[in-house]
């Protein structure tokens, strides 16, 4: 009897694997045809079992957390592959969700960005450099088709380290982006070879590489160099 049961389980596994697309289509069709009734039963079930479900979740909370931490640790590549696949297959859905979310939460989002810019120098640098790179393409009538870190040739933390190595003694992250019309008050991110030299997409990409970027006195950058 045990052998027959195990054989049945193996058969079902094989069958489900071979027919997973067909099974999924049938399930989706059944749900669409019976959506209202299924949702009605779900609501009744949750209403009648809410307390039990809460207690059960609490009882397995620690075990579930430890399992998920271990799972993510051992399946980083698999999870990344699944996330990338989902993003590609649902690009319009994700875009619409972000648009709707930002529209409904714009005030909260703007406040969040403002606070992060004030308190997190790495976030501020990443936020500003993405804007700087995007604008450099826009001004040339081009579209930015690559991620900023690909164009920079390094991660944002690595870029921050690169800029710090080029600091003059008076420069620090607290006076980044400041300007009051005097020398050595604040500094900007500057292109060593100006963007005016670029006429093609490849040239603009090269000019935005981190090796062509440096910290420069904001007065000099905004009044003398330009």
pLDDT tens readout for residues 153-165: 999 999 999 999 9
Q: Give the residues across from 213 on adjacent strands.
A: 191
> Angle, nearest 10°, between helix axes 106-119 and 121-138?
110
**Structure-token match 């970027």, residue found:** 213
- Structural element, H or E, at residue 9: helix 2-18
Helices marked H in 75-179 — which ranges? Answer: 76-89, 91-104, 106-119, 121-138, 148-152, 156-165
Residue 2 confidence (pLDDT) above 60: no
The total of other beta-carbon atoms located within 10 Å of residue 193's CB is: 11
For 64-82, what is the mean pLDDT? 87
- The span from the first CA to the last CA of the chain, in angstroms, equals 86
In this prediction the pTM is: 0.57
- Backbone φ and ψ for 92, nearest 5 degrees, come out as -70, -40
Rg (CA), the chain: 27
Residue 82 confidence (pLDDT) above 50: yes
**Closest to 151 measured CA to CA, from 170, 167, 135, 168:** 135
Q: What is the pLDDT of residue 64?
A: 83
Q: What is the pLDDT of residue 179?
A: 96
Q: Are 169 and 188 in contact (CB under 8 A)?
A: no
Q: What is the pLDDT of residue 4?
A: 55
Q: Which tokens go with 185?
A: 């008050």
Cα 39 from Cα 50, distance rounded (Å): 16
For 159-174, what is the mean pLDDT? 97
Q: Which tokens go with 42?
A: 């779900």
Q: Are 214 and 192 in contact (CB under 8 A)?
A: yes
SS3 81: helix
Q: What is the pLDDT of residue 98?
A: 83
How far is the CA of 124 from the CAs of 26, 104, 109, 127, in angstroms? Answer: 49, 24, 15, 5
Q: Give the residues across from 217 on adjacent strands.
A: 187
């Amino acid at each position: 009897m045990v052998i027959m049961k195990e054989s049945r389980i193996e058969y079902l596994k094989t069958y489900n694997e071979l027919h997973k697309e067909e099974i999924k289509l049938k399930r989706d069709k059944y749900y669409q045809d019976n959506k209202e009734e299924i949702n009605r039963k779900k609501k009744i079930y949750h209403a009648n079992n809410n307390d039990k479900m809460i207690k059960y979740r609490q009882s397995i909370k620690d075990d579930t957390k430890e399992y998920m931490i271990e799972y993510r640790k051992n399946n980083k590549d698999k999870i990344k592959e699944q996330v990338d696949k989902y993003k590609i297959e649902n690009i319009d859905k994700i875009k619409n969700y972000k648009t709707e979310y930002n529209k409904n939460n714009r005030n909260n989002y703007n406040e969040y960005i403002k606070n992060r810019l004030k308190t997190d120098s790495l976030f501020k640098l990443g936020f500003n450099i993405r804007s700087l790179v995007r604008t450099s393409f826009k001004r040339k009538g081009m579209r930015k088709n690559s991620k900023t870190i690909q164009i920079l040739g390094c991660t944002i933390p690595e870029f921050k380290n690169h800029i710090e190595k080029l600091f003059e003694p008076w420069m620090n992250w607290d006076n980044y982006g400041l300007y009051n019309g005097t020398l050595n008050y604040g500094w900007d991110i500057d292109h060593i070879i100006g963007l005016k030299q670029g006429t093609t997409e490849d040239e603009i990409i090269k000019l935005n590489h981190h090796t062509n970027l440096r910290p420069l006195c904001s007065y000099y950058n905004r009044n003398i160099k330009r």
